[in-house]
């Protein structure tokens, strides 16, 4: 092997393109400067009453105010939690429900909503899944039929799908539910929406909204739950009464400050980011759909979806096998939600009526405006691996 060939192999192996940003994002470097500063100057317990603690408490409230303003959430309060999963679990344990009442959730929910909601059936609460259309959003006609049930008390519908990027018309869905029964509590999981598509809680008209820090280039270990004034949700954690009695636990000051910084930066860059990600998605799809794999490819995401998330399927190829093959070439994608990747199949794609041979061959590609991609190289990796696996499948046939 020549010196040139050795160098070429080394350079090829050093390529790394991260396309799993829906699972988590790389935190902005400034986050860690802020965390260090908080650790040096704001390590005091905000529940104490001396001046250093009061200053720490003020920084916490300032962070809360920044995020709440970005949400257009002045008619409610943002509570900091440890994660979006905790936030979603809090809703289904804390909203006052009794046996015989009904909860509606979409079939497209994240596992932290889907599993938390269905756990309520142990308490005699009816939990009904709202069907999806073939394009992945809530089926509005079926939704209206389900709302004829006067026992419906809580609705939870994801804002933007973590699997396909499909955007539900939350304003329309909430408005209809409230017209049927103004007392219905409406929640939306906004984890894949906040910072990526326009979110205005005042306009949406909802009661509860979930967000997460590590999906928008901040640190893990902190999330948010926004609750409209007047909506009663019992705390999941009991203890010292932090977060106005809503979530006991000494507050994560450094995490809140980092969360607010990243949220503000993402929104300052919002239009530029959106255009860049849309361009990334379009370039990738154009090259992929004009490549040698087009006859095996199914695009599960529509053009008007959230461009940050793209679902693809390859007929008769196991998505997990393709994912690991691409990893070997330095292209990191996923088979779907990181929170459900250990389970067979794909509940959301199945709910869209997608053929099983495409469901098992599904992968998720999710982009970042803060990363650059060589899509010629990435598509060449898809071509090499898909054609290799398709050849093996055809031989077995």
- Shared domain for 56 and 84, answered yes or no, is yes
Mean pLDDT of the 42-58 span: 91
Q: Could you tell me the pLDDT band of residue 236, with boundaries at 50, 70 and 90?
A: confident
Q: Is 24 inside a domain boundary? A: no
- Shared domain for 307 and 332, answered yes or no, is yes
- Shared domain for 309 and 264, answered yes or no, is no
pLDDT at 11: 45
- Shared domain for 110 and 161, answered yes or no, is yes
pLDDT in tens, 274-297: 999 999 999 999 999 999 999 999
> What burial class does residue 386 get, using C-beta atoms within 10 Å of its C-beta: 0-12 exposed, 13-18 middle, 19+ buried?
buried
289 token code pair: 């759909």
Q: Is 160 inside a domain boundary? A: yes
Mean pLDDT of the 349-359 span: 95
Q: Is 174 inside a domain boundary? A: yes
Length of the chain counted residue by residue:
397
Q: Is the pLDDT of residue 7 over 60?
A: no
Q: Is the pLDDT of residue 357 over 60?
A: yes
Q: Is 144 inside a domain boundary? A: yes
> In the chain, how many domains are there?
2
Left, alpha or beta for 32 (phi > 0: left; psi -120 to 50: alpha)? alpha
- Shared domain for 323 and 260, answered yes or no, is no
CATH number at residue 154: 3.40.640.10
- Shared domain for 278 and 215, answered yes or no, is no
pLDDT at 391: 67
Q: Of the candidates 221, 239, 268, which is a domain's last residue?
A: 268
CA 119 to CA 121: how far, in whole Å?
Answer: 5
Q: Could you tell me the pLDDT band of residue 393, with boundaries at 50, 70 and 90?
A: low
Mean pLDDT of the 99-103 span: 97
pLDDT in tens, 157-167: 999 999 999 99
Q: Is 216 inside a domain boundary? A: yes
Q: Could you tell me the pLDDT band of residue 125, with boundaries at 50, 70 and 90?
A: very high
Which sign, positive or negative, has the C-alpha torsion 348, 350, 352, 354?
Answer: positive
pLDDT in tens, 64-83: 999 999 999 999 999 999 99
Q: Of the candidates 239, 268, 297, which is a domain's last residue?
A: 268
CA 176 to CA 196: how far, in whole Å?
Answer: 25
Catalytic residue list contains 381:
no
pLDDT at 174: 98
- Shared domain for 279 and 292, answered yes or no, is yes
41 token code pair: 């100057």
CATH number at residue 381: 3.90.1150.10
Mean pLDDT of the 36-57 span: 92
- Shared domain for 232 and 330, answered yes or no, is no
Q: Could you tell me the pLDDT band of residue 361, with boundaries at 50, 70 and 90?
A: very high
Q: Of the candidates 268, 301, 335, which is a domain's last residue?
A: 268
pLDDT at 390: 75
The pTM of the full predicted model, rounded to 2 decimals, is 0.93
Which stretches of the chain are DSSP H helices?
Answer: 3-13, 29-41, 51-70, 84-94, 111-118, 140-146, 170-180, 201-204, 253-268, 270-289, 319-328, 347-351, 356-359, 375-396
Q: Could you tell me the pLDDT band of residue 336, with boundaries at 50, 70 and 90?
A: low
- Shared domain for 13 and 50, answered yes or no, is no
The answer to whether the CB of 80 falls within 8 A of the CB of 224 is yes
Q: Is 312 inside a domain boundary? A: yes
- Shared domain for 233 and 341, answered yes or no, is no
Q: Is 197 inside a domain boundary? A: yes
pLDDT at 338: 52
- Shared domain for 176 and 284, answered yes or no, is no
Mean pLDDT of the 11-18 span: 75
Q: Is 39 inside a domain boundary? A: yes
Domain that holds residue 8: 3-19+270-396
- Shared domain for 252 and 332, answered yes or no, is no
């Amino acid at each position: 092997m020549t010196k040139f060939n050795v160098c070429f192999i080394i350079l090829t192996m050093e390529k790394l393109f991260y396309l799993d940003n829906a699972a988590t994002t790389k935190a902005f470097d400034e986050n860690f400067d802020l965390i260090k500063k908080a650790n040096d100057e704001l390590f005091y317990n905000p529940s104490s009453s001396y001046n250093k603690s009061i200053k720490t408490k003020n920084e916490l409230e300032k962070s809360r105010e920044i995020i709440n303003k970005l949400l257009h959430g002045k008619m409610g309060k943002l509570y900091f939690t440890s994660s979006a999963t905790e936030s979603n679990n809090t809703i289904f344990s804390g909203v006052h429900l009794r046996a015989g009442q009904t909860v509606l959730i979409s079939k497209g929910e994240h596992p932290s909503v889907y599993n938390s909601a269905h756990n309520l059936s142990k308490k005699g609460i009816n939990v009904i899944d709202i069907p999806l259309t073939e394009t992945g959003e809530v089926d509005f006609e079926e939704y209206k039929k389900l709302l004829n049930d006067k026992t419906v008390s809580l609705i939870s519908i994801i804002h933007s799908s973590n699997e396909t990027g499909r955007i539900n018309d939350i304003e329309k869905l909430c408005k209809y539910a409230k017209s049927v029964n103004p007392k219905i509590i409406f929640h939306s999981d906004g984890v894949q929406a906040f910072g990526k598509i326009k979110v205005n809680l005042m306009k949406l008209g909802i009661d509860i909204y979930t967000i997460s820090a590590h999906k928008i280039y901040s640190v893990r270990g902190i999330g948010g739950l926004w609750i409209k004034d007047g909506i009663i949700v019992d705390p999941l954690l009991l203890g010292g009464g932090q977060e106005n009695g809503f979530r006991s636990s000494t507050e994560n000051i450094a995490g809140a400050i980092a969360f607010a910084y990243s949220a503000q930066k993402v929104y300052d860059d919002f239009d530029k980011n959106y255009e860049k990600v849309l361009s990334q998605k379009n370039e990738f799809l154009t090259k992929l759909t004009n490549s040698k794999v087009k006859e095996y490819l199914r695009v599960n995401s529509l053009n008007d979806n959230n461009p940050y998330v793209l679902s693809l399927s390859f007929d008769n190829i196991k998505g997990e096998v393709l994912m690991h093959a691409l990893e070997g070439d330095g292209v990191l994608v996923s088979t779907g939600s990181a929170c459900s990747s250990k389970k067979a199949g794909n509940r959301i794609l199945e709910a869209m009526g997608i053929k099983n041979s495409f469901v098992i061959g599904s992968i998720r590609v999710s982009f970042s405006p803060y990363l650059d991609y060589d899509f010629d190289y990435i598509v060449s990796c898809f071509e090499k691996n898909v054609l290799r696996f398709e050849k093996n499948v055809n031989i077995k046939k």
